Amino acid sequence: MSQISIETFWNKIYEANPTQAPNEQDPVLLAALKHFGNIKGARLLDLGCGNGSSSLFFAKQGANVVSIDISDVAIQSLTQLCVENNITNITPMKCSAFEIAELGTFDFVFGSMILHHLEPFAVFVESLKQSLSPKGKAFFYENNALSNLLIWFRTHLVGKYGIPKYGDHDEFPLTPAEIAILKQKFTVNIIHPQLVFFGLASIYLLKGNWHSSLQKLDSFLEQFPRFKKYSYLQYVLLEVN
C-alpha cells in the first residue's frame, strides 16, 4: 500500500486543526520561558511550529518569532491569524528544519515534538549549531526512546490490532544516540517534568480506562529517579558551549 507524503499527512491534520490561541499556563511553554529568560526583542525560531499556537505565546512575550514548518496549510493558517489580528512580530514561513542556517542567527530556538522527525539527525544538529547565536539557547519538548518496553509496544502493537497511531510513518522517539549527538555540539540538560509511562497504556491499550489509576501509579513511581528517566516525555535544554 502506498504511503502519503509526510507533508500531505500534516496538511490533513492542520486542515482539521486551524491556529488557536495558546494556553498561557501551558507548563511546556512556561518551562521554555524559564530556560530562555528575557525574550523581549529577541529573535526566536519556532521550529516545526505546526499551526503556531506556541509562536503566538512567545510573540505575546515580546519576541520576534520566525515560525517554520513543512506544512503549507499550517503556515497559511498562522499567517491568516496574524494578518487578521495585526500581529507583526511573527514571520510564518514554509521551510524545512534542514534549511534554518539560511534564516540568519537566533537568540532562542523552541521546538515541540519536532526533533524526533529529523533525519539525518547529525546534519540537522550542525544546522542548529550554525543558527544559534554564541549565547543562544534552545528548548525542545520531546518523546523518549530510552525505555525498551515502551519501544517494544510502539513497534509491535501501535497502529495494529485496533490500537491507534497518532504520528506519521517516518517518526521515531528521540534516541539516546541522538542525545549523544546533541552533546557533541551543546551543553545539554534533560528534564523529565513528570513520569509518563503506565498512563500511556491506558490511552493506547485500554481506550482510556483506568487512566487515573495508572497515572497515580506513574505519580508514585516518579519519586524514584531510576524510573523517571524512562518517562516518555522530556524537556531537552541546550546552551551553546
Ligand X SMILES: C[S@@+](CC[C@H](N)C(=O)[O-])C[C@H]1O[C@@H](n2cnc3c(N)ncnc32)[C@H](O)[C@@H]1O
Q: Interface with ligand X by CB under 6 A: which residues?
A: 6, 10, 48-50, 68-71, 74, 96-97, 112-114, 117-118
Residue 97 or 109: the one with the smaller Cβ distance to ligand X is 97
Tell the smallest beta-carbon distance from residue 232 to ligand X (Å): 14
Task: Dump strand ranges (E) for 32-185.
Answer: 43-47, 64-69, 90-94, 106-112, 132-143
- CA-CA-CA-CA torsion sign (180, 182, 185, 189): negative
Whether residue 89 contacts residue 63, with contact meaning beta carbons closer than 8 Å, is answered with: yes
Tell the smallest beta-carbon distance from residue 68 to ligand X (Å): 6
Q: CA-to-CA distance for 21 and 54, rounded, in angstroms? A: 9
Residue 33 or 74: the one with the smaller Cβ distance to ligand X is 74
Tell the smallest beta-carbon distance from residue 156 to ligand X (Å): 22
Residue 64 or 71: the one with the smaller Cβ distance to ligand X is 71
Residue 118 or 145: the one with the smaller Cβ distance to ligand X is 118
Residue 173 or 214: the one with the smaller Cβ distance to ligand X is 173
DSSP state string for 126-156: HHHHHHEEEEEEEEEEEE----HHHHHHHHH
Tell the smallest beta-carbon distance from residue 100 to ligand X (Å): 9
Axis crossing angle, helix 198-205 with helix 148-156, rounded to the nearest 10: 10
Tell the smallest beta-carbon distance from residue 14 to ligand X (Å): 7
Q: CA-to-CA distance for 122 and 160, rounded, in angstroms? A: 31
